[in-house]
Structure 1
């Protein structure tokens, strides 16, 4: 007669409750961002690193590194120039909640404060198309400061005409058309920058970043318009 013990043992085993897996803790935010920001993604050392250095060295950290969920591909040309700013803001708030100095022991508060400041800087830069373009160019070793100009007579005329319309306006209603025109200019500059960074065309991206700075300057003047207030536009 066949024994029923194995069957009974199996039945008892099947009725035992399945243990609930313990969720793995979130990775340490301070540990994940030890590498200081890199001045240039294109920097290449002329010396040959040792095998140990090759194994332990981390890739250069950029502002994009802080937002892996929103920007998994990193900066262009691997990733896109345009960004889902709503998703970026959500991830930023989550990061700041984890990096808050009060959540860390006294021995790590200074690091947490420094990391929080870097996260703030990264978010502020990436959420603005102009600052984002300037930052990406700086990673290529190209600086686009306030002194950068374009030898473009047509652009200069557009800027001067916009200044005149803003200064002569008697009410905000008179500026509605100019606001719409300027938003169109900004959108076009963003489109051109998208193509330029996708093609790794640094020269084209630099020129359009300068152009975008003019349109952003006009936008700021329109947003802060007051009757009789003087307008200072770069040209």
Structure 2
């Protein structure tokens, strides 16, 4: 059941097309351009209320760019905009038993890795899965298959957690 989005449309705020496969370089350039316009040196002579408004817009834009740069957050935001918000935590049921078993094996492999080389290989393998899922997500959103997009977004969240565990072990 579709629900109206509860917050701002980060795609509109950043003047990006509402799609999963964004041009991140163009997003970064738009962000830099906006931030140059509201640099504190340029605002010094403006009234305090205008300075406050621009500071608020800058904070919102920074948040928008942060969400859009992260594939899982971008996918969750797209789902919200389509009225299909994904819960905070992806459930095993939403990703399927085979995928969940794969994630348990991956987590175990990370815990048992004994060398930097093993962790590097696990990180590379996880990144490849993230890329594959991201391509599938782009297709699901392009087809407006929101059930599939929800499932893939939940899977992507699991993969990102595995990636974070690998990076933590590598530190």
Q: For this structure pair, what is the TM-score category when the shorter chain's length is used for normalisation?
A: 0.7 to 0.9
Does residue 97 in structure 1 map to residue 41 in structure 2? no
Match of 2:27 in 1: 88
Structure 2 unaligned runs (5+)? none
Match of 2:169 among 210, 217, 225: 225
More displaced 10-residue stretch of structure 1: 157-166 or 111-120: 157-166
What TM-score does the superposition give when structure 1 sets the normalisation length?
0.64
Counterpart of 1:187 in structure 2 is 131
- Once residues 156 and 193 of structure 1 are traced to their aligned partners in structure 2, the CA distance between those partners, rounded to angstroms, is 18
| 1:108-134 residue CA offsets vs partner (Å, 9 max, x unmatched) | 011011101111011001111111000
TM-superposed deviation, 1:100: 3.4
Match for residue 75 of structure 2?
133
Q: Structure 1 unaligned runs (5+)?
A: 1-38, 42-59, 228-235
Mapped to 2, the partners of 1:169 and 1:118 lie a distance apart of: 40
Cα RMSD, aligned residues only:
2.1
Write 1 or 2 for the structure with the bigger share of helix.
Answer: 2
Deviation (angstroms), 1:182: 0.8
Counterpart position of 1:168:
112
> Residue 75 in 1 paired to residue 14 in 2?
no
Residue of structure 2 equivalent to 1:209: 153
The structure whose RCO (Cα within 8 Å, separation 6+) is larger is 2
* Alignment partner, residue 40 of structure 1: 5
Displaced runs of 4+ in structure 1, greater than 4 A? Answer: none
Larger radius of gyration: 1
